[in-house]
């Protein structure tokens, strides 16, 4: 069992969000759903809490009510190996949400994600400060990260 798990607080739509996320990420599955009974406080039969995996990472979700909401201060950073993976996750997760700068987005549940190709980190960590600076400047102009444009900046072609 994973020692530390992200725990997400929702206002009545934890099960819907879990199903949405599981449909997007490979190697994902629903583990359990605990439902409210007669005693509530939620409607009888509605999801109280859910456990699930996204690409092997364990998550927990609670329908805790309107008391707390998500903030961009906490986000999920998704390492992507290919542009196809970036494109697919970017489009699916941002549907009904908000596309933002530098690979960030908010999904329709207001949860923040960073959809980032591993190539970006590699280029930004290059010992050649000029190359990494060009990559940083290119990235700052983007919403969804484009690996080819980053490579062009890295090579001094942009």
Q: What is the pLDDT of residues 42-78, one digit of tens each?
A: 899 999 999 999 999 999 999 999 999 999 999 999 9
| Beta bridge partner(s), residue 30 | 52
CA nearest 38: which of 48, 29, 51?
48
As a whole number, the mean pLDDT across the chain is 96
pLDDT at 40: 84
pLDDT at 100: 98
Spatial contact of 152 and 158, defined as CB atoms under 8 Å apart: yes
What pTM did the predictor assign? Answer: 0.94
How far apart are the C-alpha atoms of 33 and 120, rounded to whole Å?
Answer: 37
Q: What is the pLDDT of residues 81-110, one digit of tens each?
A: 999 999 999 999 999 999 999 999 999 999
pLDDT band per the 50, 70, 90 thresholds, residue 34? very high
- How crowded is residue 90: how many other Cβ atoms within 10 Å of its Cβ? 20
CA nearest 22: which of 74, 71, 92?
92
pLDDT band per the 50, 70, 90 thresholds, residue 1? confident
How far apart are the C-alpha atoms of 27 and 39, rounded to whole Å?
Answer: 35
93's CB contacts (< 8 A; 6+ apart) are 24, 105, 107, 113, 115
Spatial contact of 72 and 107, defined as CB atoms under 8 Å apart: no
Token pair listed for 33: 């759903």
On the question of pLDDT at 158 being above 80, the answer is no
pLDDT at 49: 98
């Amino acid at each position: 069992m994973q020692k530390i798990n992200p725990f997400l607080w929702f206002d009545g739509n934890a099960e819907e969000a879990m199903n949405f996320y599981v449909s997007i990420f490979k190697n994902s599955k629903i583990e359990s759903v605990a439902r409210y009974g007669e005693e509530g406080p939620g409607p009888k039969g509605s999801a109280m809490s859910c456990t699930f995996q996204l690409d092997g990472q364990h998550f927990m979700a609670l329908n805790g009510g309107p008391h707390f909401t998500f903030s961009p201060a906490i986000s999920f950073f998704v390492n992507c190996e290919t542009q196809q993976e970036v494109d697919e996750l970017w489009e699916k997760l941002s549907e009904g949400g908000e596309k933002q700068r530098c690979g960030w987005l908010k999904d329709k549940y207001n949860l923040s994600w960073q959809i980032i190709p591993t190539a970006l980190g590699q280029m930004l960590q290059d010992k050649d400060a000029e190359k990494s600076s060009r990559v940083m400047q290119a990235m700052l102009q983007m919403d969804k990260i484009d690996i080819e444009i980053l490579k062009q900046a890295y090579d001094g072609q942009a």
